């Protein structure tokens, strides 16, 4: 008889029982996943759920497998179950839901789930992936998401929104938001720095100084705080402190890119162009930044302002390469070809053409001519350049600029514009309108469809044999009232409407007993045509007449010219 063989340990063979629990099936599921056996993995995860139905991880694993298999709705059903019945705090489920909805091309639902994830998840486990998905949804929905906060980033989203408000000039709203941020996050120094700037822009200098002191008390070497402080000193004329802090900043050589950029721009504002040039040159050597056309423009400006004209040309050529749609580089390169005109005049670091900067300044100068508009030859030449190379809107802005300036050079530019052979006749009519406002009375040559005709800016151009002085009074009253509240094109359109009405009425034109009523009606209609908010009461009060009478004349002009009918094709009726 054969003897039974024994194991090396001398004992009989032992039978090891299989541990049939959730852990066992979890391991089997993972093993199946490694071999891409999704059906088996789903089956094993399902078994794990049976053993531990209250464990949300097993449910999420099932949801993940279903998503991999393309069953996005089945996956979402499980994720909603987890959030509703098992673990409402498992916020990563919202990220998984967003993924599934995106794959189903249900982008609105994907955005909603992703926003919930970002606003409620404290760990930020999928932060990078969430940002990438946010960009995708922005592209698909053609709008940014209305994200209020990112919980894992402690006020960063609110801070970015505040920075945007500052850039848009909405300083009051920025202050409100930044005050909330620093109240919740006392050590958020970037928010404190921007709060100081917001106070400063609002003219609340004491509060701005206090906010900066808070920053520098917490971190005496905070470079952003020091840069903001030196700008304050410059604005307030505190020469001693300005000189001392500027000298201190000249010796600083920051390491971080953000600090180098802040210091470079600050030195440029201070007129320390040599230091600004040095810092900008450091930045463009960085491979991560050398695709930014703005940075090359700043470097070009610093080079120009320090007399390095060849270097400026090199950098503006880089701007042209990186931002071919922008006309900024071509303008400055053309100026380099006529250096004698502009040498000795410093260029702004803003990534705008000089005339664009002036237009932005106009938004805050409703009454007075912006300072420096008539002095700087670079700005003058930029207006002429824009009148030749700009789009229609830009050309209208330049024509209005010449109306603001009103000197002999501006008048000569307007006269020359009337003779441009390829220019739109509408823009020439705008130029004539500006000349009339400048009280130019002599006949001027105007090229229209290849032919020269003589026009007098003071005479309204119409097909009527005569132009009644009372008709002109209506026009003068309206334009005088609207001059500071309406754009040039809107004023011009009012004139065209009045001419059209009188021409259509012909012999039936009623006598003008009260010019103010007609002026109010014309302003009301012009405002409505341009989408402005206005009521009969508002129009009437501006001219000292009654609103029922204004309404009566509005209806007469509309019935004659068909304004309401024309606008209904694209908009609801603009009339009350």
445 torsion bin: left (phi>0), alpha (psi -120 to 50), beta (else): beta
In a domain, 17, yes or no: no
Do 49 and 82 reside in the same domain of the chain?
yes
Its domain, for residue 272, covers 156-323
Nearest to 292 by CA among 318, 269, 330: 318
Nearest to 42 by CA among 55, 54, 29: 29
Do 371 and 503 reside in the same domain of the chain?
no
Do 309 and 190 reside in the same domain of the chain?
yes
Q: Burial code of 352-373, b = ≥16 C-beta within 10 A, e = fewer? A: bbbbbbbbeebeeeeeeebeeb
Do 174 and 315 reside in the same domain of the chain?
yes
Give the domain CATH number at 560.
1.10.472.10
CA triplet 104, 105, 109: central angle to 5 degrees? 90
In a domain, 443, yes or no: yes
In a domain, 330, yes or no: no
In a domain, 331, yes or no: no
Nearest to 372 by CA among 341, 335, 346: 346
In a domain, 398, yes or no: yes
Q: Are 228 and 193 in contact (CB under 8 A)?
A: yes
Do 134 and 204 reside in the same domain of the chain?
no
Residues 6+ apart with CB under 8 A from 489: 396, 430
Do 313 and 299 reside in the same domain of the chain?
yes
Do 161 and 85 reside in the same domain of the chain?
no
pTM value is 0.48
Do 309 and 359 reside in the same domain of the chain?
no
Sign, CA torsion 217/221/222/225? positive
Residues linked to residue 451 through DSSP beta bridges, in sequence order: 448
In a domain, 463, yes or no: no
Q: What does the alpha-carbon distance between residue 349 and residue 381 come to, in Å, rounded to a whole number?
A: 18
Q: How many residues does the chain have?
A: 576
- Three-state SS at 446: strand
Q: Are 464 and 502 in contact (CB under 8 A)?
A: yes
Q: Which of 430, 455, 480 is the last residue of a domain?
A: 455
Our count of domains for the chain comes to 4
Do 187 and 313 reside in the same domain of the chain?
yes
Give the domain CATH number at 167.
1.25.40.10
Reading the chain (576 residues) residue by residue, the pLDDT tens digits are: 444 444 445 555 554 444 555 566 566 666 666 666 667 777 777 777 777 777 787 788 888 888 888 889 888 888 998 888 888 888 888 888 998 988 888 888 888 888 887 777 766 667 677 778 878 877 787 777 666 655 435 556 677 787 787 777 777 888 888 888 888 777 778 888 888 888 887 777 888 888 888 888 888 888 888 998 998 888 778 899 999 999 989 888 887 788 888 899 899 988 899 999 999 998 888 755 567 888 899 999 999 999 898 999 999 999 988 888 777 788 888 777 765 445 556 777 776 666 565 555 555 444 455 555 555 555 666 677 677 767 777 787 788 778 777 778 788 888 888 888 888 888 888 888 888 878 888 888 888 888 888 888 777 665 555 677 888 888 888 888 887 788 777 888 888 888 888 888 877 888 888 899 999 999 999 888 888 888 999 999 999 999 999 999 999 988 888 776 544 433 333 334
Residues 6+ apart with CB under 8 A from 491: 433, 479, 482, 483
Do 367 and 282 reside in the same domain of the chain?
no
Do 170 and 146 reside in the same domain of the chain?
no
In a domain, 522, yes or no: yes
């Amino acid at each position: 008889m054969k003897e039974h063989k024994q194991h090396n340990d001398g004992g009989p063979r032992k039978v090891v029982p299989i541990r049939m629990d959730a852990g066992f099936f979890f391991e089997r599921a993972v093993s199946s996943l490694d071999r891409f056996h999704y059906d088996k993995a789903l089956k094993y995860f399902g078994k794990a759920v049976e053993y531990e139905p209250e464990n949300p991880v097993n449910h999420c694993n099932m949801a993940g497998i279903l998503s991999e298999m393309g069953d996005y709705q089945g996956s979402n059903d499980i994720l909603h179950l987890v959030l509703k019945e098992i673990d409402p705090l498992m916020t990563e489920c919202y990220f998984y839901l967003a993924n599934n909805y995106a794959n189903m091309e249900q982008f609105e639902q994907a955005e909603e789930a992703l926003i919930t994830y970002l606003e409620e998840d404290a760990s930020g486990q999928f932060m990078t992936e969430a940002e990438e998905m946010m960009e995708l949804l922005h592209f698909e929905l053609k709008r940014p998401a209305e994200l209020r906060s990112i919980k894992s980033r402690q006020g960063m989203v609110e801070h970015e929104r505040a920075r945007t408000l500052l850039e848009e000039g909405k300083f009051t709203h920025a202050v409100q938001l930044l005050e909330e941020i620093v109240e919740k996050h006392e050590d958020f120094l970037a928010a404190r720095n921007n709060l100081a700037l917001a106070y400063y822009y609002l003219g609340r200098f004491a509060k701005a100084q206090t906010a900066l002191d808070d920053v520098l008390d917490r971190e005496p070497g905070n470079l952003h705080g020091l840069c903001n402080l030196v700008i304050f000193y410059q604005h307030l004329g505190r020469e001693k402190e300005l000189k001392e802090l500027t000298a201190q900043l000249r010796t600083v050589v920051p390491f971080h890119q953000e600090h180098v950029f802040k210091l470079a721009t600050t030195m440029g504002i201070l007129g320390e162009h040599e230091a600004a040039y040095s810092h900008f040159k450091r930045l463009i050597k960085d491979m991560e930044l050398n695709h930014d056309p703005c940075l090359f423009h700043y470097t070009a400006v610093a080079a120009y302002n320090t007399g390095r004209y060849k270097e400026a040309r090199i950098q503006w050529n880089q701007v042209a390469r990186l931002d071919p749609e922008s006309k900024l580089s071509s303008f400055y390169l053309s100026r380099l070809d006529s250096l004698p005109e502009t040498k000795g005049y410093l260029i702004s670091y803003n990534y705008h053409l000089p005339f664009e900067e002036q237009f932005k300044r106009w938004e805050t100068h409703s009454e007075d001519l912006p300072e420096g508009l008539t002095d700087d030859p670079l700005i003058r030449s930029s207006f002429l350049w824009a009148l030749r190379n700009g789009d229609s809107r830009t050309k209208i802005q330049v024509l209005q600029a010449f109306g603001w300036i009103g000197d002999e050079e501006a008048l000569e530019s307007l006269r020359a514009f009337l003779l441009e052979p390829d220019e739109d006749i509408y823009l020439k009519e705008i130029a004539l309108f500006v000349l009339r406002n400048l009280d130019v009375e002599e006949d001027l040559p105007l090229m229209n469809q290849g032919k020269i005709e003589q026009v007098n800016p003071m005479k309204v151009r119409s097909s009527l044999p005569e132009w009644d002085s009372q008709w002109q009074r209506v026009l003068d009253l309206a334009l005088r009232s609207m001059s500071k509240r309406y754009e040039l094109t809107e004023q011009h359109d009012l004139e065209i409407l009045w001419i059209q009405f009188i021409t259509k009425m012909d012999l039936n034109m009623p006598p003008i007993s009260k010019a103010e009523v007609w002026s109010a009606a014309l302003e009301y209609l012009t405002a409505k045509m341009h989408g402005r908010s206005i009521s009969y009461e508002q129009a009437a009060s501006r001219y000292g007449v009654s609103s029922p009478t204004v309404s009566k004349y509005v209806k007469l002009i509309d019935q004659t010219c068909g304004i309401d009918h024309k606008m209904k094709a694209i908009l609801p009726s603009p009339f009350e």
